[in-house]
A and B are shown apart, each in its own frame.
Chain A
Protein backbone atom coordinates (compact mmCIF):
# COMPACT_ATOMS: atom_id res chain seq x y z
CA UNK A 1 0.00 0.00 0.00
CA UNK A 2 1.78 3.07 -1.24
CA UNK A 3 1.92 6.08 1.02
CA UNK A 4 1.03 9.64 0.13
CA UNK A 5 2.76 10.43 -3.15
CA UNK A 6 3.79 13.93 -4.06
CA UNK A 7 5.44 15.11 -7.24
CA UNK A 8 7.62 16.63 -8.24
CA UNK A 9 10.00 16.38 -5.27
CA UNK A 10 11.81 19.50 -6.39
CA UNK A 11 10.47 22.29 -8.59
CA UNK A 12 12.27 25.40 -9.79
CA UNK A 13 10.30 28.27 -11.25
CA UNK A 14 11.18 31.76 -12.36
CA UNK A 15 9.29 34.68 -10.89
CA UNK A 16 5.98 35.10 -12.65
CA UNK A 17 5.63 31.48 -13.75
CA UNK A 18 3.05 29.02 -12.51
CA UNK A 19 3.77 26.12 -10.16
CA UNK A 20 1.64 22.98 -10.02
CA UNK A 21 2.12 20.56 -7.16
CA UNK A 22 0.46 17.17 -7.20
CA UNK A 23 -0.59 14.88 -4.37
CA UNK A 24 -2.03 11.38 -4.55
CA UNK A 25 -3.46 10.33 -1.19
CA UNK A 26 -3.07 6.91 0.34
CA UNK A 27 -5.39 4.28 -1.03
CA UNK A 28 -8.78 4.56 0.62
CA UNK A 29 -8.17 8.09 1.88
CA UNK A 30 -10.60 10.74 0.74
CA UNK A 31 -9.36 13.73 2.76
CA UNK A 32 -6.37 15.79 1.67
CA UNK A 33 -4.59 18.58 3.51
CA UNK A 34 -1.92 20.92 2.18
CA UNK A 35 0.70 22.50 4.46
CA UNK A 36 3.55 24.90 3.75
CA UNK A 37 6.85 24.87 5.60
CA UNK A 38 9.08 27.90 5.33
CA UNK A 39 12.72 27.76 6.45
CA UNK A 40 12.95 28.00 10.24
CA UNK A 41 9.16 27.90 10.48
CA UNK A 42 6.66 25.26 11.44
CA UNK A 43 4.21 23.60 9.13
CA UNK A 44 1.33 25.97 8.34
CA UNK A 45 -2.06 24.68 7.32
CA UNK A 46 -3.26 25.91 3.95
CA UNK A 47 -6.31 23.99 2.78
CA UNK A 48 -8.41 20.91 3.47
CA UNK A 49 -10.20 19.15 0.65
CA UNK A 50 -12.43 16.17 0.07
CA UNK A 51 -13.24 14.81 -3.36
CA UNK A 52 -14.56 17.72 -5.46
CA UNK A 53 -15.01 19.91 -2.36
CA UNK A 54 -12.96 22.51 -0.55
CA UNK A 55 -13.81 22.13 3.13
CA UNK A 56 -11.51 24.69 4.72
CA UNK A 57 -9.24 27.12 2.89
CA UNK A 58 -8.66 29.48 5.79
CA UNK A 59 -4.87 29.10 5.49
CA UNK A 60 -4.66 29.84 1.79
CA UNK A 61 -3.42 33.23 0.60
CA UNK A 62 -6.32 35.05 -1.00
CA UNK A 63 -4.56 35.62 -4.31
CA UNK A 64 -2.55 33.44 -6.69
CA UNK A 65 -3.12 30.20 -4.75
CA UNK A 66 -5.78 27.61 -5.54
CA UNK A 67 -6.35 23.94 -4.81
CA UNK A 68 -8.53 21.21 -6.16
CA UNK A 69 -9.19 17.53 -5.58
CA UNK A 70 -11.11 16.21 -8.58
CA UNK A 71 -13.21 13.09 -8.66
CA UNK A 72 -10.47 11.37 -10.63
CA UNK A 73 -6.76 12.03 -10.25
CA UNK A 74 -4.54 13.70 -7.72
CA UNK A 75 -5.07 16.83 -5.70
CA UNK A 76 -3.41 19.87 -7.24
CA UNK A 77 -2.04 22.94 -5.48
CA UNK A 78 -1.58 25.70 -8.01
CA UNK A 79 0.43 28.86 -7.48
CA UNK A 80 0.17 31.48 -10.18
CA UNK A 81 2.75 34.22 -10.84
CA UNK A 82 5.15 32.85 -8.26
CA UNK A 83 7.31 35.21 -6.20
CA UNK A 84 10.48 34.54 -4.22
CA UNK A 85 8.49 34.39 -1.00
CA UNK A 86 6.65 31.32 -2.28
CA UNK A 87 9.88 29.30 -2.00
CA UNK A 88 9.11 26.65 0.60
CA UNK A 89 8.43 22.98 1.13
CA UNK A 90 4.82 22.08 0.44
CA UNK A 91 3.52 18.97 2.19
CA UNK A 92 0.38 17.05 1.52
CA UNK A 93 -1.27 14.80 4.08
CA UNK A 94 -4.22 12.44 3.75
CA UNK A 95 -6.63 10.74 6.09
CA UNK A 96 -9.40 8.16 5.73
CA UNK A 97 -13.11 9.01 5.70
CA UNK A 98 -14.66 9.83 9.06
CA UNK A 99 -15.66 6.82 11.07
CA UNK A 100 -12.96 4.63 9.56
CA UNK A 101 -9.33 4.17 10.29
CA UNK A 102 -7.55 5.02 13.47
CA UNK A 103 -8.31 8.40 14.98
CA UNK A 104 -4.87 8.83 16.46
CA UNK A 105 -2.94 8.34 13.24
CA UNK A 106 -5.24 10.08 10.89
CA UNK A 107 -2.85 12.29 8.98
CA UNK A 108 -0.13 10.65 6.88
CA UNK A 109 2.30 12.98 5.16
CA UNK A 110 3.92 12.82 1.76
CA UNK A 111 7.60 13.57 1.13
CA UNK A 112 6.85 17.12 0.09
CA UNK A 113 7.61 19.29 -2.91
CA UNK A 114 10.41 21.77 -2.51
CA UNK A 115 9.63 24.84 -4.57
CA UNK A 116 12.41 27.26 -5.38
CA UNK A 117 11.58 30.51 -7.10
CA UNK A 118 14.52 32.16 -8.84
Chain B
Protein backbone atom coordinates (compact mmCIF):
# COMPACT_ATOMS: atom_id res chain seq x y z
CA UNK B 1 0.00 0.00 0.00
CA UNK B 2 0.88 3.66 -0.12
CA UNK B 3 1.52 5.56 3.08
CA UNK B 4 3.00 9.01 3.52
CA UNK B 5 3.25 10.54 6.98
CA UNK B 6 4.00 14.08 8.00
CA UNK B 7 3.13 16.11 11.10
CA UNK B 8 -0.28 17.75 11.04
CA UNK B 9 0.87 21.16 12.14
CA UNK B 10 3.92 23.08 13.31
CA UNK B 11 4.56 26.55 14.64
CA UNK B 12 7.67 28.68 14.38
CA UNK B 13 8.83 32.26 14.82
CA UNK B 14 9.68 34.74 12.11
CA UNK B 15 13.40 34.53 11.26
CA UNK B 16 13.79 31.02 12.67
CA UNK B 17 14.51 27.70 10.95
CA UNK B 18 11.97 24.89 10.76
CA UNK B 19 12.27 21.29 9.54
CA UNK B 20 9.23 19.41 8.28
CA UNK B 21 9.68 15.65 8.17
CA UNK B 22 8.07 13.15 5.85
CA UNK B 23 8.25 9.36 5.89
CA UNK B 24 6.90 7.17 3.14
CA UNK B 25 6.20 3.56 2.28
CA UNK B 26 5.21 3.19 -1.36
CA UNK B 27 5.19 0.34 -3.83
CA UNK B 28 7.50 2.24 -6.17
CA UNK B 29 9.68 5.30 -6.05
CA UNK B 30 10.50 7.71 -8.83
CA UNK B 31 11.05 10.95 -6.94
CA UNK B 32 9.83 12.91 -3.94
CA UNK B 33 8.28 16.35 -4.21
CA UNK B 34 7.47 19.13 -1.79
CA UNK B 35 4.66 21.57 -2.58
CA UNK B 36 3.46 24.67 -0.76
CA UNK B 37 -0.26 25.39 -0.61
CA UNK B 38 -1.81 28.55 0.77
CA UNK B 39 -5.44 28.31 1.84
CA UNK B 40 -7.74 28.31 -1.16
CA UNK B 41 -4.86 28.29 -3.62
CA UNK B 42 -3.13 25.84 -5.94
CA UNK B 43 -0.20 23.75 -4.70
CA UNK B 44 3.02 25.28 -5.97
CA UNK B 45 6.20 23.30 -6.54
CA UNK B 46 9.06 23.79 -4.08
CA UNK B 47 11.54 20.97 -4.52
CA UNK B 48 12.29 17.58 -5.99
CA UNK B 49 14.64 14.79 -4.85
CA UNK B 50 15.28 11.52 -6.61
CA UNK B 51 18.79 10.76 -5.33
CA UNK B 52 19.92 10.67 -1.69
CA UNK B 53 21.19 13.92 -0.30
CA UNK B 54 20.38 17.55 0.11
CA UNK B 55 19.01 19.88 -2.55
CA UNK B 56 19.29 23.56 -1.73
CA UNK B 57 17.23 26.28 -3.30
CA UNK B 58 17.46 29.67 -1.66
CA UNK B 59 15.78 29.63 1.74
CA UNK B 60 14.38 26.16 1.12
CA UNK B 61 16.29 22.86 1.19
CA UNK B 62 15.07 19.30 0.88
CA UNK B 63 16.76 16.09 1.95
CA UNK B 64 16.12 12.51 0.91
CA UNK B 65 17.18 9.11 2.24
CA UNK B 66 15.71 6.40 0.05
CA UNK B 67 16.92 3.54 2.28
CA UNK B 68 15.05 5.05 5.23
CA UNK B 69 12.02 6.22 3.27
CA UNK B 70 12.56 9.67 4.74
CA UNK B 71 12.66 13.25 3.59
CA UNK B 72 12.61 16.65 5.19
CA UNK B 73 11.99 20.18 4.03
CA UNK B 74 14.08 22.85 5.72
CA UNK B 75 12.91 26.43 5.70
CA UNK B 76 15.36 29.12 6.80
CA UNK B 77 14.84 32.77 7.74
CA UNK B 78 11.14 32.23 8.09
CA UNK B 79 8.80 34.94 6.91
CA UNK B 80 5.16 35.49 7.72
CA UNK B 81 4.24 34.62 4.14
CA UNK B 82 5.66 31.12 4.71
CA UNK B 83 2.56 30.30 6.75
CA UNK B 84 0.96 27.63 4.58
CA UNK B 85 0.43 23.93 4.22
CA UNK B 86 3.46 21.94 3.03
CA UNK B 87 2.72 18.80 1.07
CA UNK B 88 5.06 15.85 0.72
CA UNK B 89 4.37 13.74 -2.38
CA UNK B 90 5.93 10.65 -3.90
CA UNK B 91 5.93 9.84 -7.60
CA UNK B 92 5.53 6.11 -7.39
CA UNK B 93 5.06 5.31 -11.05
CA UNK B 94 6.76 6.15 -14.29
CA UNK B 95 4.69 9.22 -15.03
CA UNK B 96 3.63 12.19 -12.94
CA UNK B 97 0.91 10.70 -10.79
CA UNK B 98 1.72 11.73 -7.23
CA UNK B 99 0.72 10.22 -3.90
CA UNK B 100 0.39 12.99 -1.34
CA UNK B 101 0.65 13.14 2.43
CA UNK B 102 -2.03 15.05 4.30
CA UNK B 103 0.15 18.11 4.54
CA UNK B 104 1.77 20.00 7.41
CA UNK B 105 0.18 23.31 8.35
CA UNK B 106 2.97 25.72 9.30
CA UNK B 107 2.09 28.83 11.27
CA UNK B 108 4.77 31.52 11.45
CA UNK B 109 4.29 34.04 14.23
CA UNK B 110 5.99 37.42 14.74
Interface residues of A (CB under 8 A from B): 4, 31, 33, 35, 40-45, 48, 55-56, 91, 93, 95, 98, 103-112, 114
Known: A104-B31, A107-B33, A109-B35. 8 other contacts (CB 8 A): A42-B87, A43-B98, A55-B95, A56-B93, A56-B95, A56-B97, A95-B95, A106-B96
Partner of A110, one of B42, B96, B97, B99: B42
Those 3 A-B pairs whose CB atoms lie nearest each other, nearest first: A104-B48, A42-B102, A42-B100
Q: List 8 A-B contacts (CB under 8 A).
A: A33-B97, A43-B100, A45-B99, A56-B93, A91-B42, A93-B96, A105-B48, A107-B98
Whether A40 contacts B97 by the Cβ 8 Å rule is no
Residues of A within 8 A of B33 (CB): 104, 107
Known A-B contacts A91-B42, A91-B43; the reply to A45 vs B48 at CB < 8 A is no
Q: How far is the CB of B55 from chain A (nearest CB, A)?
A: 9
B: interface residue count bin? 20 to 34
Q: Are B101 and A42 in contact (CB under 8 A)?
A: yes
Residue of B nearest to A96 (CB): B96
Which of B45, B89, B97 gathers the greatest number of chain A CB atoms within 10 Å? Answer: B97
Asked whether A48 lies within 8 Å of B97 as measured between CB atoms, the reply is yes
**Chain B residues close to A by CB (< 8 Å):** 4, 31, 33, 35, 40-45, 48, 50, 87, 89, 93, 95-103
CA distance A87 to B93 in the complex (A): 28
Does B43 lie within 8 Å of A95, measured CB to CB? no
B residues near A110, Cβ cutoff 8 Å: 42
Residues in B neighbouring A56, C-beta threshold 8 A: 93, 95, 97
Chain B residue contacts of A98, Cβ below 8 A: 95
CA distance A114 to B89 in the complex (A): 22
Choose one: A45, A91, A112; the contact of B97 (CB below 8 Å): A45
Q: A40-B102, A43-B43, A112-B42 are in contact. Are A107 and B96 (CB under 8 A)?
A: yes
Given known pairs A42-B100, A45-B97, A45-B99, the reply for A105 and B43 (CB within 8 Å) is no
